[in-house]
């Protein structure tokens, strides 16, 4: 049978398995195994499949993933999110919609030491939502800004999605982290500006008086002092990477160590450390199962030469490359509504990445675009993981109301994607050549 036809059938089989409800990692691994067996003699397939899980995952570069996960869990246990929100509230509370704006600020600050969208949304929901609801904020705005602000966790370094993208495509993780800095700041600023404009137009969203909270200058500077741990962690991790002092793995190890020390100074330190280690182990196990499954699928697809054929076919269509790029982004926006971000990257990269390279797009820039698509998927139905995390914190708010609250932020995300497409320098300005 023609290998390209086999590759096409493998993609169809994967879609059928996913739609049937099979776990994503199992569906990927099963499809990959079937493909390898179909295209190689049994003895060669047996050797490949017996050695692949270990040879693929036993890489020193993978160490960065559990280290950053552990740092994020330690930052959560140390209460850094609430300190970041308090600082944002003190400095931004006097602006219309100030508490919602402070929530986005807190999400951005916590994302700089976390790297997980769900963890950021969950943590800020506990810190910021009760305060906003008490001040008279409509659940739509309060829940929407927390869910959308949580998406910064997948963009602002250290981002778990960027780590996985780097593994799959072999693009420099350091370059990806540096490239994400300006888009992360831009996203937070546009979110804040959007909230301000919404509250100015509809003050009832923030309790009728614009949700204004005044603080003294003393309280503002005291709150900054309390949030020193967030600044310190981000500085030693991203600062050492950007200055070339440490690799991403070394910076992750240092960040994880200092985050652990911060937890050990808190009450019930040992129990918090135990929870952090347990959650890290569970998260790493899940992600590595996905990575091995995706690796098997990628190997089978590569053997079929389907990505090469698709890339050549895309070039032969004779349409402008931005049209093909727009179609690819549209596919990602649809997929983001159906599956989680890591799975989306692992499933699609073996097919999409060769096309992107053939079209001449920068792989670092494309990685940030993919993360933006993942962000949108976090707050759009039917999956919208961040929305369900926030719903668990405010069960009285209808799920439809929370999705409505996220809608303006989806429009803002589309605007940011358009800006980054029109002006790639937004992403690549800081990236070393």
Cis amide prior to 382 (ω within 30 degrees): yes
pLDDT tens digits, 343-382: 888 888 888 898 898 888 999 999 999 999 888 888 888 7
How many other CB atoms sit within 10 Å of the CB of residue 1?
A: 8
Burial class of residue 57, CB neighbours in 10 A (0-12, 13-18, 19+): middle
Residue 129 belongs to domain spanning: 59-266+305-428
Q: Would 391 be classed as within a structural domain?
A: yes
For 252-270, the pLDDT digits (tens) are 999 999 999 999 988 888 8
Tokens in use for 252?
A: 């992750």
Structural domain includes residue 43 = no
Is residue 233 situated within a structural domain?
A: yes
How many whole angstroms separate alpha carbon 154 and alpha carbon 372?
Answer: 8
- CB-count burial class (<10 Å; 0-12, 13-18, 19+) for 275: middle
Q: Rounded CA gap, 13 and 72, in Å?
A: 36
431 three-class SS: coil
Length in residues, the chain: 433
pLDDT at 152 over 60: yes
Task: Give the rounded distance of the alpha carbon of 49 from its chain centre.
Answer: 30
Domain assignment present for 90: yes
* DSSP symbols for 274-323: HHHHHHHHHHHHHHHHHHHHHHHHHHHHHHHTHHHHHHHHHHHT-S-HHH
Check residue 185 and give its pLDDT.
Answer: 93
Nearest-angstrom CA–CA distance, 390 and 386: 6
Q: What is the pLDDT of residue 257?
A: 93
pLDDT of residue 210: 57
pLDDT value at residue 294: 84
340: pLDDT strictly greater than 80: no
As a whole number, the mean pLDDT across the chain is: 86
CB atoms within 10 A of CB 158: 32
Number of domains in the chain: 1
> Could you tell me if residue 271 is inside a domain?
no
Task: Specify if 34 maps to a domain.
Answer: no
pLDDT per residue over 109-141, tens digit each? 888 888 778 788 888 888 888 888 888 888 889
Q: Determine the average pLDDT of the residues in 236-257.
A: 88
pTM of the model: 0.85
In a domain, 125, yes or no: yes
Number of helices (H) and strands (E) in the chain: give both, helices first.
23, 0
For residue 92, what pLDDT is reported? 86
Q: Would 26 be classed as within a structural domain? A: no
Among the listed ranges 93-102, 200-209, 288-297, which one has the minimum average pLDDT value? 200-209
Tell me the per-residue pLDDT of 196-227, one tens digit each, with 9 for 90 and over: 999 988 988 887 665 567 778 888 888 888 88
Kindly report, residue by residue over 378-422, the tens digit of the pLDDT. Answer: 888 877 778 888 888 778 778 888 899 999 999 999 999 999 999
What does the pLDDT read at residue 211?
A: 59
């Amino acid at each position: 049978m023609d290998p390209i036809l086999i590759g096409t059938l493998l993609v169809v089989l994967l879609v059928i398995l996913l739609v049937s409800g099979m776990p994503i990692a199992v569906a990927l691994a099963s499809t990959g195994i079937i493909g390898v067996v179909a295209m190689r003699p049994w003895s060669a397939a047996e050797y490949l499949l017996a050695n692949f899980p270990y040879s693929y995952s036993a890489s020193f570069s993978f160490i960065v993933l559990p280290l950053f996960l552990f740092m994020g869990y330690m930052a959560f246990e140390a209460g850094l999110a609430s300190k970041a929100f308090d600082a944002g509230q003190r400095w931004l509370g006097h602006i219309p919609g100030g508490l919602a704006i402070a929530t986005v600020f807190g999400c951005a600050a916590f994302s700089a030491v976390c790297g997980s969208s769900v963890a950021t949304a969950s943590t800020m929901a506990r810190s910021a939502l009760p305060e906003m609801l008490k001040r008279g904020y409509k659940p739509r705005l309060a829940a929407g800004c927390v869910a959308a602000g949580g998406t910064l966790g997948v963009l602002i370094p250290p981002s778990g999605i960027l780590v996985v993208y780097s593994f799959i495509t072999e693009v420099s993780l350091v370059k990806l982290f540096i490239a994400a800095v300006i888009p992360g700041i831009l996203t937070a600023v546009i979110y804040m500006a959007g909230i301000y404009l919404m509250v100015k137009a509809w003050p009832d969203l923030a309790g009728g008086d614009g949700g204004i909270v005044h603080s003294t200058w003393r309280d503002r500077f005291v709150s900054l002092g309390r949030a020193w741990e967030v600044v310190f962690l981000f500085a030693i991790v991203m600062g050492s990477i950007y200055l070339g002092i440490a690799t991403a793995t070394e910076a992750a190890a240092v960040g994880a160590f200092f985050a652990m020390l911060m937890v050990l100074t808190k009450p019930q330190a040992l129990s918090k450390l135990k929870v952090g280690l347990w959650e890290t182990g569970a998260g790493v196990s899940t992600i590595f199962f996905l990575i091995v499954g995706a690796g098997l699928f990628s190997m089978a697809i590569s053997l079929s030469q389907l990505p090469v054929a698709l890339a050549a076919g895309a070039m032969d269509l004779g349409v402008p490359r931005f049209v093909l790029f727009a179609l690819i982004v549209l596919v990602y926006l649809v997929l983001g509504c159906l599956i989680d971000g890591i799975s989306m990257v692992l499933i699609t990269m073996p097919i999409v990445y060769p096309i992107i390279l053939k079209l001449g797009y920068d792989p670092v820039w494309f990685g940030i675009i993919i993360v933006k698509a993942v962000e949108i998927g976090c707050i759009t139905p039917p999956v919208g993981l961040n929305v369900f995390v926030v719903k668990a914190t405010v069960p009285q708010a209808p799920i439809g109301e929370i999705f409505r609250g996220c809608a303006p932020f989806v429009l803002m995300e589309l605007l940011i994607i358009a800006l980054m497409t029109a002006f790639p320098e937004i992403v690549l300005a800081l990236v070393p050549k």
